[in-house]
Chains A and B, each alone.
Chain A
Amino acid sequence: MVQWSDFERATIQDIFSKINSDFVGPAALSRCLIVYPWTQRYFGSFGNLYNADAITSNPKVAAHGKVVLAGLEKAVKNMDDIKTAYKDLSVLHSEKLHVDPDNFNLLSDCLTIVVASQMGDAFTADVQAAFQKFLAVAVASLRKQYH
């Protein structure tokens, strides 16, 4: 089981209480689709993804970005057992969506950059380390049911 220090718990709670979830989710997902264009392959039914402007203003991308962030908020509420909290999500991504799990790391990178841009100087090295550890645990939990 993952061990969290008091600092890490407090930092993760603090980040998620401060960020604008309606902004961060959509911003991270659209950034991922732009910076790593092959990830668009999973969004064939989302309509126009032909350029950065189309992606950033696509309402389905925005809506799904919020869904992703809600999923992370669930992990925040279940920090001591993210693996169990994400079991069904992991099965879904493996068996229904057929997402290459390497893509979870790409979205994590984009989330880190968006949160860093939001927090500015407050995104210190310690805060970055805690946030990346949290995302790594979320990603590992999402990978868990893949076989």
Chain B
Amino acid sequence: MVKWTEEERRIVREVWEKVDIDEIGEQLWARALIVYPWIERYFGTFGDIFTTTAILNNSKLAALGKIVLRGLDTAVKNMDNIKPTCASLSRLHYEKIQVDPDNFRLLAECITISMACKLKAELNPQVQATWQKFLSAVVEAMNSQYK
């Protein structure tokens, strides 16, 4: 189990409170698809994702981004139980959606970069280090049901 200091818990909570889930969630998948285009393979049922404009205006992507960040919100509220919290999601991504788990890390990077754009200097080095430790724990939990 991941060990958290009081300071780390405080930092994760405080930085997450500053995140507007709807605002960042809406553009999250657009960012991932544009920066890492091979991810398109998972979005065959999402309609038009073939141009930058289409990606940026795709309402299914926007909705999914908010779902992902709400999932992250649950992890923030369960920092001592991230693995069990994510277990069924991990199984879903492995068995049903068949996502290459490397992509969890890429999406995590997009989340951090989106936060950097909004929070700017508030995402200082110490906050970044702690936030990345938290995201690594989530990524590991998402990997946990893969065999």
* Interface residues in B, total, Cβ within 8 A: 24
B-side residues, CB < 8 A to A, are 27, 30-31, 33-35, 52, 55-56, 109, 112-113, 116-121, 123, 125-126, 128-129, 132
A-side residues, CB < 8 A to B, are 30-31, 34-35, 52, 55-56, 109, 112-113, 116-121, 123, 125-126, 128-129, 132
Could you show 24 A-B contacts with beta carbons less than 8 Å apart? A30-B125, A52-B125, A52-B126, A109-B109, A113-B112, A113-B116, A116-B116, A116-B117, A117-B116, A117-B120, A118-B120, A119-B117, A120-B120, A123-B113, A123-B117, A125-B27, A125-B33, A125-B34, A125-B52, A125-B55, A125-B56, A126-B52, A128-B113, A129-B35
- Contact A126:B117 (CB < 8 A) given known A34-B126, A34-B129, A35-B125: no
Main secondary structure of the interface of A (DSSP, over half): helix
Assess whether B128 is in contact with A35, with CB atoms less than 8 Å apart: yes
Contacts of A132 in B (CB 8 A): 35
User: Within the complex, what minimum Cβ distance (angstroms) separates B127 from chain A?
Assistant: 10
Assembly CA distance A30 to B128 (angstroms): 12
Assembly CA distance A52 to B126 (angstroms): 7
